[in-house]
């Protein structure tokens, strides 16, 4: 059973133009198990502009694969759903999709993008906050 988690580690970081006023930022905390090509964790999307999309928490899962292509050594895809409120004056909520794609190096730095309800952010920096071995 312990072989299933061989090489597992925690990856933390951001996707987006950190420091740009009003830019949506996706902060990720992920458990990565390369031997299983699996990624699971949480993404928190924040935006300085107040409203229903200013703080969203999404449970995600996805895949990670090694590329063997120069500086971009890994590609990651993430998917999850969260509850999105209808914009005022409407009342109610619905399940909305979150998707992300990353092209990164071994330290989780690179480029990527993400999408969520009526927002599509492409070609933004991916920056690692920390990568720590779990096993």
Q: pLDDT digits over 118-133, tens only?
A: 899 999 999 999 655 5
Q: What's the pTM? A: 0.88
Residue 135, pLDDT score: 46
Residue 124, pLDDT score: 97
Both tokens of residue 18? 């950190």
Helix (H, G, I), strand (E, B) or coil at 37: coil
Report strand pairing: 55-69 vs 72-85.
antiparallel
User: Across all residues in the chain, what is the average pLDDT?
Assistant: 89
> pLDDT over 70 for what percent of the chain?
90
d(CA 103, CA 15): 11
Q: Taking residues 93-104, report their average pLDDT.
A: 96
d(CA 128, CA 105): 10
Q: Taking residues 27-38, report their average pLDDT.
A: 95
Residue 108, pLDDT score: 95
């Amino acid at each position: 059973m312990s072989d299933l988690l061989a090489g597992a580690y925690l990856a933390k970081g951001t996707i987006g133009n950190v420091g740009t006023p009003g830019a949506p930022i996706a902060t990720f905390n992920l458990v990565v198990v390369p031997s299983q090509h699996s990624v699971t964790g949480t993404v928190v999307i924040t935006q300085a502009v107040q409203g229903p999309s200013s703080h969203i928490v999404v449970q995600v899962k996805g895949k990670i694969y090694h590329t063997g292509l120069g500086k971009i050594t890994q590609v990651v895809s993430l998917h999850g759903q969260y509850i999105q409120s209808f914009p005022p004056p409407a009342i109610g909520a619905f399940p909305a999709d979150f998707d992300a794609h990353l092209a990164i190096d071994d330290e989780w730095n690179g480029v990527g993008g993400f999408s969520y309800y009526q927002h599509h952010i492409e070609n933004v920096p991916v920056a690692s906050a920390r990568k720590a071995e779990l096993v």
